[in-house]
């Protein structure tokens, strides 16, 4: 296969990210060494180019800086290139300033570790039960039989979604990000997003009249400066919780299972207790980096790495490169479940650090604990099916055979 130069690499094309892991690692090494602050032209579309930041320090500096860089015109490449996000100023991820702090404080109350104790207990029980059933079956699709059912059920518990609606919401979540198949259209994704928003609009009306102990009730009944949240703020933030809380955790579980199969010595270390589950979780998050990038727009001219980013320019922060930066990690190309320290950026950083990070880590910890308890060996039982995305990394199918522990 011909090695592309950084100028020939198209980061807008999901096909780029279907290359083998070693090729992607080499691609990002070239970006970091040859053009760490890189201007990426977009061909064949009437959209502007964008900056690509691939070094850990540059990525971290922009994550920290919400004065000179804003999320309010989008925070992922697709919406940034389209000119903005329709939820800007109303959804936490694409809101800055005082309103961001107020919305974040509301959601952090719902995601505080103390509040989540009951939810985390349910996560552990669910993960243990699903892994046991998969082991009893022998052959399974780890993605569909195990991983699919943990984050969505957890987020649905938090939001107060009735059990009867959860499979429906899972299908909408996948369609909304167009990650299952390459043939999915932008129109199908838009319809799915609108259906999710409509669903939460109806649920918010119910919770305003009959509040319960869930996130939708918190959003529907809370006041900021004496005023209730608007309907759009409620539904957009429900949408944000379900998209962020399901996709990244689910994909991390699936990728983590695949990496344990491909690195039998690391699986031995985890199963024997030589490495701690929580430490293993951090390395899986670094290694697989489920959210490959986030983005910002510059609000003033900024110098980064001797390049001038102009006000209004789109700047993309590539976690999937920063997490492999040789200047930030010792031997980053080695999958080491005992790695410490491990200051990866898989949950972002700074003012927009993922509010669900604690819960995401708890879900992965529950799955890996169940695997090392009930599984002696896992082997592939068919090809893994990668998702089609320039934002998320992972697999929609992972057939495996699980051999029970004695």
**What does the DSSP assignment read for 142-197?**
IIIIIGGGTHHHHHHHHHT--GGGHHHHHHHHHHHTT-S-TT--HHHHHHHHHHHH
Give the pLDDT confidence of 375-406 residue by residue, as tens digits.
Answer: 999 999 999 999 999 999 999 999 999 999 97
Burial class (CB in 10 A: 0-12, 13-18, 19+), 208: middle
| 295 is a domain residue | yes
Give the pLDDT confidence of 171-181 residue by residue, as tens digits.
Answer: 888 787 655 45
Domain of residue 225, CATH code: 1.10.630.10
**Helix/strand number for the chain, H first, E second:** 14, 14
The sign one gets for the Cα dihedral 245, 248, 251, 253 is: negative
| 401 is a domain residue | no
Which percentage of the chain shows pLDDT scores above 90? 77
Q: Is 364 strand, coil or helix? A: helix
Residue 155 CB partners (closer than 8 Å, separation 6+) = 161, 241, 242, 245, 246
Record the tokens describing residue 289, joined without a space: 């980096």
The C-alpha atoms of residue 264 and residue 190 are separated, in whole angstroms, by 41
Q: What is the pLDDT of residue 181?
A: 54
Q: What is the pLDDT of residue 406?
A: 79
Name the packing angle between helices 357-374 and 264-272 (round to 10°): 90
**Averaged pLDDT for residues 61-75:** 96
Q: What is the pLDDT of residue 1?
A: 43
| 238 is a domain residue | yes
| 397 is a domain residue | no
Give the pLDDT confidence of 79-104 residue by residue, as tens digits.
Answer: 999 888 889 999 999 999 999 999 99
Q: What is the pLDDT of residue 267?
A: 98
Give the pLDDT confidence of 18-40 residue by residue, as tens digits.
Answer: 999 999 999 999 999 999 999 99
| 381 is a domain residue | no
What phi and psi values does residue 139 have, to the nearest 5 degrees?
-105, 140
Quote the pTM value. 0.93
Give the pLDDT confidence of 210-221 residue by residue, as tens digits.
Answer: 998 888 999 999
Q: What is the pLDDT of residue 167?
A: 85
Segments forming the whole domain that contains residue 249: 6-374
Which percentage of the chain shows pLDDT scores above 70? 97
Give the pLDDT confidence of 254-280 residue by residue, as tens digits.
Answer: 999 999 999 999 999 999 999 999 999
| 386 is a domain residue | no
Q: What is the pLDDT of residue 3?
A: 65
∠ CA(108), CA(113), CA(114), 5° rounding? 105
The C-alpha atoms of residue 241 and residue 87 are separated, in whole angstroms, by 13
Give the number of other CB atoms < 10 A from CB of residue 163: 9
CA 385 to chain centre: 18
Asked if the model's pLDDT at residue 185 lies above 80, the reply is: no
Instruction: Look at the chain and report how many structural domains it folds into.
Output: 1
Asked if the model's pLDDT at residue 168 lies above 70, the reply is: yes
Give the pLDDT confidence of 307-338 residue by residue, as tens digits.
Answer: 999 999 999 999 999 999 999 999 999 999 99
| 253 is a domain residue | yes
| 379 is a domain residue | no
């Amino acid at each position: 296969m011909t090695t592309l130069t950084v100028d020939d690499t198209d980061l807008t094309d999901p096909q780029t990210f279907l290359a083998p892991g070693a090729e992607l690692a080499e691609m990002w090494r070239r970006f970091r060494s040859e053009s760490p602050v890189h201007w990426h032209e977009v061909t064949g579309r009437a959209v502007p180019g964008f900056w690509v930041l691939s070094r850990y320090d540059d990525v971290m500096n922009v994550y920290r800086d919400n004065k000179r860089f804003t999320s309010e015109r989008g925070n992922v490449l697709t919406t940034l290139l389209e000119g903005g996000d329709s939820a800007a100023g109303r959804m936490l991820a694409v809101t800055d300033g005082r309103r961001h702090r107020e919305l974040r404080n509301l959601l952090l109350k719902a995601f505080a570790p103390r509040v989540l104790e009951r939810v985390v207990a349910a996560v552990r029980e669910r993960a243990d039960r699903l892994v046991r059933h998969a082991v009893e079956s022998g052959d399974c699709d780890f993605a569909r039989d195990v991983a699919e059912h943990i984050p969505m059920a957890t987020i649905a518990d938090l939001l107060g979604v009735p059990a009867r609606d959860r499979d429906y919401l899972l299908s909408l979540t996948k369609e909304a990000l167009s990650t299952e198949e390459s043939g999915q259209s932008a129109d199908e994704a838009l319809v799915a997003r609108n259906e999710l928003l409509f669903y939460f609009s109806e649920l918010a009306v119910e919770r305003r009249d009959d509040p319960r102990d869930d996130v939708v009730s918190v959003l529907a009944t809370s006041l900021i400066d004496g005023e209730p949240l608007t309907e759009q703020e409620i539904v957009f933030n429900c949408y944000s919780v379900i998209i962020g809380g399901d996709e990244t955790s689910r994909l991390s579980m699936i990728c983590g299972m695949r990496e344990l199969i491909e690195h039998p010595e690391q699986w031995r270390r985890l199963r024997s207790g030589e490495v701690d589950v929580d430490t293993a979780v951090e390395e899986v998050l670094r290694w697989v980096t489920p959210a490959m990038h986030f983005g910002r727009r510059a609000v003033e001219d900024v110098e980064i790495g001797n390049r001038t980013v102009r006000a209004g320019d789109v700047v993309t922060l590539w976690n999937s490169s920063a997490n492999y930066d040789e200047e930030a990690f010792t031997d980053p190309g080695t999958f080491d479940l005992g790695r410490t320290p491990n200051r990866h950026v898989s949950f972002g950083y700074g003012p927009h650090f993922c509010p669900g990070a604690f819960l995401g880590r708890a879900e992965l910890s529950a799955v890996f604990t169940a695997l090392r308890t009930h599984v002696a060996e896992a082997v592939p039982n068919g090809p893994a099916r990668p998702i089609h995305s320039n934002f998320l990394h992972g697999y929609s199918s992972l057939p495996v055979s699980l051999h029970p522990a004695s």
